[in-house]
Structure 1
Amino acid sequence: MSAPDLFASSVSLSRLGWDDSLAADLPDGLLPARVARVDRGAAEVLTAEGSLQAHYGASVRRAAAADPVALPCVGDWTGLRRLPEGRFELAALLPRRTAFVRGGVGRTSRGGLSGDSQGQVLAANVDIVFIAEPALHATDTADLGRIERLLALAWESGGRPVVLVTKSDLIGDALPHLLEEVAEAAPGVDVHAVCSVTGEGVDIVRGHLDGRHTAVVLGASGAGKSTLVNALAGEEIMETQRVRAGDGRGRHTTVHRELIRLPGGGLIIDTPGIRRIGLYDMGEGVDLAFSDIEDLAAECRFADCSHRAEPGCAVIAAIEDGTLPERRLVSWHKLRREAAWMASRSDPRLRKELQNRWKTIHKEMRKPGRIRP
């Protein structure tokens, strides 16, 4: 099939998210395809012809060797070249509109921060980032720190974050309090209770896809991500396992990321459970995830207030009057410190400045009555 013939099937391609701006980025002579699943050196891609396998071309391999972020990822739009023997080669990676990138998962340095400046793209060209956090009857609480970390990465990706409190049937009357707690950790973000078994909230989740958007579901193992995908699809597409007796947690079953087209429109990417969530190349992600602190900081007496012990600090005042949880400020300090550390990995001058600054801060922190980062 020639390139003009393929573009004639615009209805099929548009259901995958293809549009004129993407067509403008496609190199001449290549066929458009969207990555549904990746393997070593190859990808399963969706095209107007259907699903097919494509091996990485030389230019794609070279780019990925220089920077792992350039590896093809689920959700990517690519250009395919048909080889004489009939096989397809993934010859080009189109520019990403959005990309959810976490820091390297290699060794760690002192303090638990990532010692690897490389990143890993978990999903590309997504409009919505669903952050799944399970409601567990054993604790009646959520991992707010994990939610905040994922929110920072979601905002940085360029997608719109939405927090889903999954397995909401497990928590009973404590659900309203839990939703309030999660909403406090996610200012400006939609928070929904979802139970994929009973169907509660599934239509709300489907509404975010709007029949044309692409979403990724992220969260820890056992958060109910695959069960939610099955509920949205109306059939068992992803394998799931029953929750364990005693703590309500599911066992991890998804071992790969996969792009799934939903029958009612829209696409969704299911992902394995994330154990380690390192920050990577942060710009405004942390600030957007902590917009409540940023708003308060604008009222501080000093423009460079660190929100630890300075007079006239509006953030400390909010903690003292109970309008801002101290836990939230501690989390903000931690993520900002990690983001600065990751930035310093590729900048020796910045790394030295950061080390000197933290020596001064640590001396101050040993004094009584200070807010610890």
Structure 2
Amino acid sequence: MKTPIHAAHGCEATDRLRRLGWNEHFDGLMTNPGFDPDRVARVVSAQRDLFLVADGRAEWICTPSGKLRRARREDYPVTGDWVIVDESVVQRVLPRRNTLRRGEAGSRGKQDGAAPREQPIAANLDTVLIVSGLDRDYNPRRLERYLALVYNCGMTPVIVLTKADLLDCPDAFRAEAEAVAPGVPVVLTSTVDGSGAEGLHGYLGPGRTAAMIGSSGAGKSSLANMLLGHDVRATAAVSRSVGKGRHTTTSRELIAMPQGGLLMDNPGIREIAFAGDGAGLDAAFADILELAESCRFADCTHRHEPGCAVLRAVDTGILPPERLDNYRKMQREMDYVRARSEKSADYVEKERWRDRAMEIRRITKRGKR
């Protein structure tokens, strides 16, 4: 029995898309009436109102449709999105598998009463590589924040420690990172001798998409060049005076890797602000939650209560006090985000009913005339 021409054509289009990361999660869209895989493309890079998209055959520049220009910020295309394209116009964004997002810059500690806005960074990722340089950039507390951010987005983290050649015993830092992130793979790398590259190849296999996040100067662009096999991203030395990196990456772009997958470099993140419901905190501090199960009181705050298993773990050296302090700090931040979001939702509902009441009042007045 011969395969219908349109079916074969659809399979050919799907095969092209799979090379860009299309997977079984999106296959269900193929059964939607009128769905045309030839109109599907992936956003390779997003720059304001210009998008570089690819469909497995070519790359071209697109602009957003009028409807997209009026869309909410969280619904606007970002790098990694699958979109429906008509020639050089992006019409709409297909449902995302996941979204890497954070609170907008400056939202930490905001006291204006407004709910922090979410800033989508990338979409449809298989792995997030948390990159930290083994120089002044290395900070276990910052790793904990990144882990909470990634878990909060429902994604899979991998910690990559770069610049291992700077230390005589980098394994000690790997052990500390493993203690900070139980169960999370930790890979030591060095762009000087190429070590650690093989440990990351599995996350860049055919059809897979990984994104790197970290501070400026952590070595993300150098790592991308090492994994690619040649220089494609600009790099710059870290300032010796303050130990801060320079922003050599100014855009988010998917890079086709020789392993068959795609890798996204990201500009350095200076402020790790949270968004969403904060569920990632439990995953990032699973050891504290496990200890809390043995606390005498179910609502223990782990501050002064008698019979607190968490405080006992700190006293006996099992749990570093700095880790508990960071957990409390992030818990306060996420509680604030949640409270602001709930208050904002209540405010929106009150505004909606106020508008209805005013409309009813106007109708009533007209009826009396």
Amino acid at match of 2:47: D
Alpha-carbon distance between aligned partners in 2 of 1:211 and 1:196, rounded to the nearest angstrom: 23
Alpha-carbon distance between aligned partners in 1 of 2:55 and 2:251, rounded to the nearest angstrom: 20
TM-score by length of 2: 0.84
Amino acid at match of 2:189: V
> RMSD in angstroms over aligned alpha carbons?
2.5
Which residue in 2 is equivalent to 1:85? Answer: none
Given that 1:103 and 1:114 are in contact with CA atoms closer than 8 Å, whether structure 2 keeps it comes out as no
SS of equivalent residue, structure 1 residue 44: strand
Given that 1:344 and 1:350 are in contact with CA atoms closer than 8 Å, whether structure 2 keeps it comes out as no
What are the residue-to-residue correspondences of 1:1-373 with 2, within 5 Å? 5=9, 8-25=12-29, 28=34, 31-64=39-72, 68-82=73-87, 88-106=88-106, 109=109, 117-136=116-135, 142-173=138-169, 175-245=170-240, 250-348=245-343
Alpha-carbon distance between aligned partners in 2 of 1:260 and 1:233, rounded to the nearest angstrom: 9
SS of equivalent residue, structure 1 residue 324: coil
Given that 1:6 and 1:48 are in contact with CA atoms closer than 8 Å, whether structure 2 keeps it comes out as no
Deviations 1:133-178 (CA, angstroms, capped at 9, x unpaired): 1101xx5x821221111101111222210111111111222x1222
Given that 2:29 and 2:35 are in contact with CA atoms closer than 8 Å, whether structure 1 keeps it comes out as no
Given that 1:155 and 1:288 are in contact with CA atoms closer than 8 Å, whether structure 2 keeps it comes out as yes
TM-score by length of 1: 0.83
Runs of 5+ unmatched residues, structure 1? 83-87, 352-373
* Residue 184 of structure 1, CA deviation: 1.8
Q: How many residue pairs align between the two structures?
A: 337
* Residue 59 of structure 1, CA deviation: 2.5
* Residue 309 of structure 1, CA deviation: 0.7
Amino acid at match of 1:97: R
SS of equivalent residue, structure 1 residue 95: coil
Given that 1:114 and 1:278 are in contact with CA atoms closer than 8 Å, whether structure 2 keeps it comes out as no
Given that 1:106 and 1:116 are in contact with CA atoms closer than 8 Å, whether structure 2 keeps it comes out as no
* Residue 4 of structure 1, CA deviation: 7.8
* Residue 8 of structure 1, CA deviation: 2.0
CA distance 1:340–1:245, shift in 2 (3 Å):
closer
CA distance 1:337–1:245, shift in 2 (3 Å):
closer
Which residue in 2 is equivalent to 1:357? Answer: none
Runs of 5+ unmatched residues, structure 2? 1-5, 347-369
Amino acid at match of 2:23: D
CA distance 1:246–1:201, shift in 2 (3 Å):
farther
Alpha-carbon distance between aligned partners in 2 of 1:216 and 1:107, rounded to the nearest angstrom: 23
CA distance 1:344–1:171, shift in 2 (3 Å):
same
Identity across the alignment (%): 37
Given that 1:41 and 1:56 are in contact with CA atoms closer than 8 Å, whether structure 2 keeps it comes out as yes
